[in-house]
Amino acid sequence: MIFSNPTTKVAITGIAEAGKTTFLTSLLWHLDQIGSGKLEVRNGKNNPIDIYKAKINDGKITKRTFQYKQVIAEVLHTREFPQKTADWRECSVEFAREGWWYNRQRLEFVDFPGERIVDVALMAYSSFDQWSAHFFEAVANVPQLTPYINEYKTKIQTSTDAAACIRAYKELIEKIIGEYGSLVSPSTLLLDEKGKTWKDKIKTASGKLDKQQFIPTAVSGLLGFEFAPIPVELVPTMPFTRQFKKNYERYRKKALFPLIKQVFRADKLLVLINIPELLMEGGEAYNQAVATIEALVTTLDPAGSFWKGFAIWSGLYFLGWNPVPLREVIFVATQTDRIHPDDINNDKIVRLLGEMVGGIISKVRPLKCQKTHCAAIQSTYVPPKSNDAITDGKKILCGIPQAAGNPQCRTIKYEVDALPATIPSKFATKGAPNKYCFPKTCFPEDFPEIMSHPPKHNNLNAVFNFIINDK
Ligand X SMILES: Nc1nc2c(ncn2[C@@H]2O[C@H](COP(=O)(O)OP(=O)(O)OP(=O)(O)O)[C@@H](O)[C@H]2O)c(=O)[nH]1
Residue ranges that bind ligand X, judged by CB under 6 A: 14, 16-22, 81-82, 84-85, 113-114, 335, 337-338, 375-377, 379, 440-441
185 binds Mg ion (CB under 5 A): no
For residue 16, the partner it binds in Mg ion, ligand X, none, with Cβ less than 5 to 8 A by kind, is ligand X
26 binds Mg ion (CB under 5 A): no
Q: Are 13 and 272 in contact (CB under 8 A)?
A: yes
* Other C-beta atoms lying within 10 Å of the C-beta of residue 142: 18
Q: Which is nearer to Mg ion, 85 or 379 (CB)?
A: 85
- Tell me the closest approach of the beta carbon of residue 266 to ligand X, in angstroms: 16
Show the binding pattern over residues 42-81: x = contacts Mg ion (CB under 5 A), - = does not: ----------------------------------------
187 binds Mg ion (CB under 5 A): no
Whole-angstrom distance, CA of residue 273 vs CA of residue 5: 28
For residue 134, the partner it binds in Mg ion, ligand X, none, with Cβ less than 5 to 8 A by kind, is none
- Tell me the closest approach of the beta carbon of residue 276 to ligand X, in angstroms: 9
Q: How many CA atoms lie within 13 A of 167 on its CB side?
A: 9
274 binds Mg ion (CB under 5 A): no
Find all residues with CB under 8 Å of 237, minimum gap 6, and list them.
Answer: none
Nearest one of 115, 238, 249, 123 to 173, comparing CA atoms: 115
Q: How many CA atoms lie within 13 A of 59 on its CB side?
A: 13
* Other C-beta atoms lying within 10 Å of the C-beta of residue 458: 17
Q: Which is nearer to ligand X, 299 or 378 (CB)?
A: 378
For residue 375, the partner it binds in ligand X, Mg ion, none, with Cβ less than 5 to 8 A by kind, is ligand X
Q: Are 214 and 116 in contact (CB under 8 A)?
A: no
- Tell me the closest approach of the beta carbon of residue 420 to Mg ion, in angstroms: 28
Q: Which is nearer to ligand X, 179 or 470 (CB)?
A: 179
Q: Which is nearer to ligand X, 266 or 376 (CB)?
A: 376
379 binds Mg ion (CB under 5 A): no
Can you tell me which of 13, 25, 85, 461 binds Mg ion, judged by CB under 5 A? Answer: 85
For residue 19, the partner it binds in Mg ion, ligand X, none, with Cβ less than 5 to 8 A by kind, is ligand X
φ and ψ at residue 278, rounded to 5 degrees: -65, -40
Find all residues with CB under 8 Å of 272, minimum gap 6, and list them.
Answer: 12, 13, 14, 18, 19, 20, 23, 332, 334
- Tell me the closest approach of the beta carbon of residue 238 to ligand X, in angstroms: 34
End-to-end CA distance of the chain: 13
- Tell me the closest approach of the beta carbon of residue 20 to ligand X, in angstroms: 4
Nearest one of 464, 405, 469 to 30, comparing CA atoms: 464
For residue 337, the partner it binds in ligand X, Mg ion, none, with Cβ less than 5 to 8 A by kind, is ligand X
132 binds Mg ion (CB under 5 A): no
- Tell me the closest approach of the beta carbon of residue 22 to Mg ion, in angstroms: 8
Residue ranges in 61-127 assigned as alpha helix (H): 68-78, 114-118, 120-124
For residue 401, the partner it binds in Mg ion, ligand X, none, with Cβ less than 5 to 8 A by kind, is none
Q: Which is nearer to ligand X, 311 or 353 (CB)?
A: 353
Kind and range of the H or E run holding 131: helix 128-140
* Other C-beta atoms lying within 10 Å of the C-beta of residue 110: 23
DSSP SS3 for 142: coil
For residue 57, the partner it binds in Mg ion, ligand X, none, with Cβ less than 5 to 8 A by kind, is none
Q: Are 165 and 228 in contact (CB under 8 A)?
A: yes
Q: Which is nearer to ligand X, 84 or 308 (CB)?
A: 84
* Other C-beta atoms lying within 10 Å of the C-beta of residue 215: 15
DSSP SS3 for 33: coil
Q: Which is nearer to ligand X, 153 or 268 (CB)?
A: 268
For residue 181, the partner it binds in ligand X, Mg ion, none, with Cβ less than 5 to 8 A by kind, is none
Q: Which is nearer to Mg ion, 14 or 304 (CB)?
A: 14
For residue 245, the partner it binds in ligand X, Mg ion, none, with Cβ less than 5 to 8 A by kind, is none
Nearest one of 85, 106, 99 to 12, comparing CA atoms: 85
Whole-angstrom distance, CA of residue 211 vs CA of residue 199: 9
Which part of the chain contacts Mg ion (CB under 5 A), choosing from 14-22, 40-48, 258-266, 365-373? 14-22
Q: Which is nearer to ligand X, 20 or 201 (CB)?
A: 20
For residue 377, the partner it binds in ligand X, Mg ion, none, with Cβ less than 5 to 8 A by kind, is ligand X
25 binds Mg ion (CB under 5 A): no
Residue 464 zone, left/alpha/beta (φ > 0; ψ -120 to 50; rest)? alpha
Find all residues with CB under 8 Å of 428, minimum gap 6, and list them.
Answer: 282, 434, 435, 436
Q: Which is nearer to ligand X, 90 or 470 (CB)?
A: 90
21 binds Mg ion (CB under 5 A): yes
Q: Which is nearer to ligand X, 39 or 156 (CB)?
A: 39
Whole-angstrom distance, CA of residue 378 vs CA of residue 349: 16
Return residues touching Mg ion (CB under 5 A): 20-21, 85
